[in-house]
Chain A
Amino acid sequence: MQLIREIAFLLHKELTLELRQKYALGGILLYVLATVYVVYISFVKVDPANWNTLFWIIILFASVNAVARSFLQEHSGRQLYYYTLANPIAVLVAKILYNFLLLLLLSVLTLGAYSVVAGYLIRQPVPFLWAVLLGSLGFSIALTFVSAIASKASNASTLMAILSLPLLIPILATVIRLAKASFIPKAGVMIPIKSDLYILAGIDMLLLGAALILFSFLWRD
């Protein structure tokens, strides 16, 4: 119970912090708009297979940028202060949850902007919705943890990119395959998505478990 209360409180803190520094959210929004527009300018007309792939690549890079800040933005001294106040696991879980929400928002924004310039090509929203949900969760877990690892180094943002991109590829590959099912016209054949869903949920659970166990060795300096 104590843990849940701590998580809720820390989540609230993250949200307040974010809303106070409006430039950060605005920056991400602008990043998404700019990337979407770059894609549009380079492709002009996008067929469904490329639409899907490009969408997730935009999400991938936007996520790396958005989540990188989670452990980097705050001073390490202040983080140590959090760890004395609350359970370090609660700090991690709150950040994962917060980033999950942030990535969901990011996905919605990207989908909106992308649909305006490249057209809305989704025919069956359900697989896509699952892909966004489980994909955002997996991205959030992996990226939050990697950001915790990278934050201790001097050149943290470079480290963040090279550590996280290979780790995210399995999630990305599964998500893209899962989301493909959304681009088939309704009358067409349904692609079975169950195995992809299980893999994705499995990866998420595995990463979450590893992150929770390993974080206790990471936060102490």
Chain B
Amino acid sequence: MIIKHGWKLLGVVILIYTFIVGLLVPLKSGILEVSPQSVQPGRNISFRVLGYNTHYLSGEIRAWLKMDEEYTLASSQILIQNDRELKVIFGIPRFLPTADKVQDFTLLLDNEVDGAHLLPSAVFVTQDSINPAMGRLEWPPERITDLHEKEGITFPFRNILAETIRNTYFHVPMWFAMIFLFLGAVFYSGRYLRSKRSVDDFRAFTMIRVGVLFGIMGLLTGAVWAKNTWGAYWSGDIKQNMTAICLLIYMAYFVLRQAYEDPDQRARIASVYALFAFAAMIPLLFVIPRLTDSLHPGNGGNPALGGEDLDNTMRMVFYPAIIGWFLLGLWMAQLSFRIERLKERLLENED
């Protein structure tokens, strides 16, 4: 009983956990915007800083402009406008300790409640007269100490993603579930060709059916995400195109099944096609996208889901989410399988 139905319960529990934790855990504090972005050295400049999920009214705030590990400039004054807005004034020396004409600085903020949060390349300083030696004198080495950590469980804040980072628990695991279901279909198709038992063919058929559903869901969740972050629902990204082709290939499978009257012939030819189609899809899914430029992480040489994209808190939701969606997919496939079996029996009884 427990083994027979436990996995379904497990899938549902994991998905409930995914929804609750994935949607409710707050994001870390972050910096949305800094203006002006481009300044010149040798004067006091007041920056307007917009924070996200920040509590600037509670507690003392410190701010730095960070060039590299060695050179950092502390702010001369911070005016708190409200919980999410600051005016930070930096007195930038006349010379920069670098020979580059344009140098970017990371803005780092720290207070007790929000912890340390930063915006990389927040400010660009353009210097007209370059003198690194003078710059080194005018920038006394400053150490940043006693940074705070935000307390509680949080997800990372990414400037472009913001709250949409939660889609990681829906969009990505649906792909994994789709691939696992298609792999399952490959297994059962192969088994059908050996055993010639129609149940194996039904298993493969229903797994592909649910896999295609997950594929469409993945495409839709991805399109909404892409609209938010890349600016368009469909940007002809290589993975989007390859996925669309994959779905076409598997939709052809359904048409193929319709084309044969004889159930044995249908099962045999559908199994052969499912295996052949999967072989054709291997380069589509795993090779070509990795060699082509793409907006997705994990392409054009970027590491997929590397340390930058996924922190430990996110892993605690992301990995269970994969299992949860996959188990839900299996359950759906099983229900669909039973319906197919019943239909077959109904047909047999009619004869």
Minimal beta-carbon separation of B270 from chain A (angstroms): 9
Whether A214 pairs with B291 at a CB distance below 8 angstroms is: no
Q: Which of B267-308 contact A (CB under 8 A)?
A: 268-269, 271-273, 275-277, 279-280, 282-284, 287-288, 291
- A163 an interface residue at 8 Å Cβ cutoff? yes
Q: Mark A127-157, 1 if CB is under 8 A from B, else 0.
A: 0000000000000001001000100111100
The closest CB in chain A to the CB of B193 belongs to A217
The closest CB in chain B to the CB of A164 belongs to B252
Whether A210 pairs with B276 at a CB distance below 8 angstroms is: yes
Minimal beta-carbon separation of B289 from chain A (angstroms): 11
State the total of A-B contacts with C-beta under 8 angstroms.
76
The closest CB in chain A to the CB of B192 belongs to A217
Please judge, given known A-B contacts A163-B273, A195-B291, A217-B268, whether A153 and B279 are in contact too, CB under 8 Å.
no
Q: Mark A176-207, 1 if CB is under 8 A from B, else 0.
A: 00000000000000000001000100110011
- B255 an interface residue at 8 Å Cβ cutoff? yes
The closest CB in chain A to the CB of B247 belongs to A166
User: Measured between alpha carbons, how far is A149 from B193 in the docked complex, in Å?
Assistant: 15
**From A142, A159, A174, A206, contact of B259 by CB (8 A):** A159
User: Measured between alpha carbons, how far is A128 from B252 in the docked complex, in Å?
Assistant: 31
Whether B288 pairs with A153 at a CB distance below 8 angstroms is: no
Task: Choose among A142, A145, A153, A209 the residue with the greatest number of B CB atoms under 10 Å from its CB.
Answer: A153
Whether A173 pairs with B288 at a CB distance below 8 angstroms is: yes
Q: Which of A78-124 contact B (CB under 8 A)?
A: none
- B45 an interface residue at 8 Å Cβ cutoff? no
- B249 an interface residue at 8 Å Cβ cutoff? yes
Minimal beta-carbon separation of A172 from chain B (angstroms): 10
User: Measured between alpha carbons, how far is A210 from B278 in the docked complex, in Å?
Assistant: 9
Whether A199 pairs with B283 at a CB distance below 8 angstroms is: yes
Chain B residues near A206 (CB-CB < 8 A): 279-280, 282-283
Q: How many residues of A contact B (CB 8 A)?
A: 30
User: Measured between alpha carbons, how far is A26 from B280 in the docked complex, in Å?
Assistant: 32
**From B268, B271, B283, contact of A170 by CB (8 A):** B283
- B234 an interface residue at 8 Å Cβ cutoff? no
- B260 an interface residue at 8 Å Cβ cutoff? yes
- A24 an interface residue at 8 Å Cβ cutoff? no
- A169 an interface residue at 8 Å Cβ cutoff? yes
Whether B280 pairs with A211 at a CB distance below 8 angstroms is: no
**From B252, B273, B280, B287, contact of A199 by CB (8 A):** B287
Not counting A155-B259, A214-B276, a sample of 5 additional A-B residue pairs whose C-beta atoms are within 8 angstroms of each other reads A145-B276, A152-B265, A166-B249, A207-B279, A218-B269
- 30 intermolecular pairs with C-beta atoms under 8 Å apart: A149-B272, A149-B276, A153-B256, A153-B259, A153-B260, A154-B259, A155-B259, A159-B255, A162-B252, A162-B255, A163-B255, A163-B256, A166-B245, A166-B248, A166-B249, A167-B249, A167-B276, A167-B277, A169-B248, A170-B242, A170-B245, A170-B288, A195-B291, A202-B283, A202-B287, A206-B282, A207-B279, A209-B279, A210-B280, A217-B271
Seen from chain B, the residues whose Cβ lies within 8 Å of a Cβ on chain A are 193, 242, 245, 248-249, 252, 255-256, 259-260, 265, 268-269, 271-273, 275-277, 279-280, 282-284, 287-288, 291
Seen from chain A, the residues whose Cβ lies within 8 Å of a Cβ on chain B are 142, 145, 149, 152-155, 159, 162-163, 165-167, 169-170, 173-174, 195, 199, 202-203, 206-207, 209-211, 214, 217-218, 221
9 pairs of A and B residues whose beta carbons are closest in the complex: A210-B279, A166-B248, A153-B259, A166-B249, A217-B193, A214-B272, A169-B245, A170-B284, A167-B280
